[in-house]
Amino acid sequence: MLAKTKDPWSQSIHLLKMLSEAKMRADGSSLTGAWAARRAECAEHPPHHASVRVLDRPSPTTVTIAWLDSTSCRYGNQVWRSCVARGVGTCAVSGWQIQPGDLVYKPRACRPMPSNADAMILATVVCNAVEV
């Protein structure tokens, strides 16, 4: 059953994924071999689909971001806060690796959680990306 909080696009993607996995099981194939290796690789290093633009710096610890992702969400004026990275990640703007302890910006916590809640942008990238 689909959650009622998902938007129609997310529901469609979820249904296609379920159908794809069900067909694989019906064919008798399993998630082994090269296919399983590729799936693990994609989960470990998700593709960068979003178009990200820094719009403004309303305060020293916040930025306003335009986040456009055709596969999951669109946020025209999303507020991000500065923090210290707790884990390894990838900068959504530069693609550079983020290490624990790096200064980053993340979407401000709110309810419901935004689709890009786990995204991070390196603070140095934000400082260089602010549009005048």
pLDDT at residue 39 above 60?
Answer: no
Which tens digit of pLDDT belongs to each residue from 75-120?
989 999 999 999 999 999 889 999 999 999 999 988 888 889 999 9
CB 55 within 8 A of CB 86: no
Residues 13-28 have pLDDT tens digits of: 777 777 666 555 455 5
60-84: per-residue pLDDT in tens?
899 999 999 887 788 989 999 999 9
pTM, rounded to two decimals: 0.61
Alpha carbon 132 to chain centroid, angstroms: 26
Q: For residue 22, what are its two tokens?
A: 């069900």
How many other CB atoms sit within 10 Å of the CB of residue 107? 21
